[in-house]
C-alpha cells in the first residue's frame, strides 16, 4: 500500500484521457497531471527534443515522489522507448503504446489494423513494430492526423467541421479495410464519439489509455503499491498558461479542473 501519487505526462490536454481511465479503476489514487503546453505540439518535433522534454518532466515527477509515471503521450513514448524499456529514468515509468498494440491485436479478427497518430509516432513506426511483435503477419496502416491534435487541444471535439476533418484523416485507413483502429494519440479519445461515427460499427476502436490503465492497476497490485485508503486527490500542472489549461480542460475533464499551477522546468541539453 502506498499513498504516493501517480504522475501523468503529455504535451497538452491529451493525457487527460489516460488519467481519466486510471481514475475510473483506481479512484483512491492521488494523481498528478503535468503537461508541456509551452512546447505543444510534440508531433512535428525531432524525437531528441521530445526526449529532452520528457527527461525534464521525469525530474519533476521524482520531486513529487511519484511511485509511477504514465507517459500519457504516444509521441513521447516513441521518443523515449529505450529509456522506458531500460528503466533508466529517475522514477518508474511506462508508456501507452505497448498496451495499445496488445489490445489491438487481441481485438482484430482480420489482422488489418489502422493507427491514427502524430507525425512523430507514425515516423517512428513504433505501432507497426509492436503490433507485429504481438501478432506476426498483421497488416498495419498508419495515418498522421496533426489537425485533430490541434482541434482536441482547442477543446473542439464535436461538430460538422471536426467530423469532416476526421473523415478526411481516416479515409486512407478505411480504404485499406481495417477492422480495428488504434487511437494512437492521447488527444483522440476526446473526440471518440465523432471518430466512432465516421468509422462505423464494423471498425473497433482501441483507446491505448484504457489498456494502459488496466496495466497500471495490475502493476501496482503486483508491487503492493495500490492506495487503498486515499481520497483520490487530483492536481494539474502546465508549462504554459494555467488559465487557458483550466478553460479548455473544463470541457475535457469530468467536473472541470478547478486549479492548475504553472511549472518552469529545467530542460537540459543532451
Ligand atoms: N497526445 C500526444 C500523443 O499521444 C501528443 C500530441 C502532440 O503534442 O502532437 O502523441
Residue 268 is predicted with a pLDDT of: 75
Check for a shared fold between 6-95+210-262 and 98-208. yes
How many angstroms is it from 228 CA to the middle of ligand 1? 32
Q: Is the CB of 68 under 6 A from ligand 1?
A: no
194 vs 267, residue with greater confidence: 194
Q: Report DSSP letters for 198-243, one per residue.
A: HH-TTSEEE-HHHHHHHHHHHHHHHTT---SS----EEEEESS-HH
pLDDT tens across 124-158, in order? Answer: 999 999 999 999 999 999 999 999 999 999 999 99
Q: What is the mean pLDDT of residues 256-262?
A: 95
Closest residue to atom 9 of ligand 1, CA basis: 43
CATH number listed for the domain at residues 98-208: 3.40.50.1860
pLDDT tens across 158-204, in order? Answer: 999 999 999 999 999 999 999 999 999 999 999 999 999 999 999 99
Q: Which atom of ligand 1 is nearest to the CA of 14?
A: 1
Domain boundaries, the chain: 6-95+210-262, 98-208
pLDDT category of residue 82 using cuts at 50, 70 and 90 = very high
How many angstroms is it from 118 CA to the middle of ligand 1? 6
Q: Which atom of ligand 1 is nearest to the CA of 41?
A: 8
Whether 73 is catalytic: yes
The topology (CATH level 3) of 6-95+210-262 is: Rossmann fold (3.40.50)
Residue 88 is predicted with a pLDDT of: 83
Q: Which atom of ligand 1 is nearest to the CA of 43?
A: 9
Amino acid at each position: 500500500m502506498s499513498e504516493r501519487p501517480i504522475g501523468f505526462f503529455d504535451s497538452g490536454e491529451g493525457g487527460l484521457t489516460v488519467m481519466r481511465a486510471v481514475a475510473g479503476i483506481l479512484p483512491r489514487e492521488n494523481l498528478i497531471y503535468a503537461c508541456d503546453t509551452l512546447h505543444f505540439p510534440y508531433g512535428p518535433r525531432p524525437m531528441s527534443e521530445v526526449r529532452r522534454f520528457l527527461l525534464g518532466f521525469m525530474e519533476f515527477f521524482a520531486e513529487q515522489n511519484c511511485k509511477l509515471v504514465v507517459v500519457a503521450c504516444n509521441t513521447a513514448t516513441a521518443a523515449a522507448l529505450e529509456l522506458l524499456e531500460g528503466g533508466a529514468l529517475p522514477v518508474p515509468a511506462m508508456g501507452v503504446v505497448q498496451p495499445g498494440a496488445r489490445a489491438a491485436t487481441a481485438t482484430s479478427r482480420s489482422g488489418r489494423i489502422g493507427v491514427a497518430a502524430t507525425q512523430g509516432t507514425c515516423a517512428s513506426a513504433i505501432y507497426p513494430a509492436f503490433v507485429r511483435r504481438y501478432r506476426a503477419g498483421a497488416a498495419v496502416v498508419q495515418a498522421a492526423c496533426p489537425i485533430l491534435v490541434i482541434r482536441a487541444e482547442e477543446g473542439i471535439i464535436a461538430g460538422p467541421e471536426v467530423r469532416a476533418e476526421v473523415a478526411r484523416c481516416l479515409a486512407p485507413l478505411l480504404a485499406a479495410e481495417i477492422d480495428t483502429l488504434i487511437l494512437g494519440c492521447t488527444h483522440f479519445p476526446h473526440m471518440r464519439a465523432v471518430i466512432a461515427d465516421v468509422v462505423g460499427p464494423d471498425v473497433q476502436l482501441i483507446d491505448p489509455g484504457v489498456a494502459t490503465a488496466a496495466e497500471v492497476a495490475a502493476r501496482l497490485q503486483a508491487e503492493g503499491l495500490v492506495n487503498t485508503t486515499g481520497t483520490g486527490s487530483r492536481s494539474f500542472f502546465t508549462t504554459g498558461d494555467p488559465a487557458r489549461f483550466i478553460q479548455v480542460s473544463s470541457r475535457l475533464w469530468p467536473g472541470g479542473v478547478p486549479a492548475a499551477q504553472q511549472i518552469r522546468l529545467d530542460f537540459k541539453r543532451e
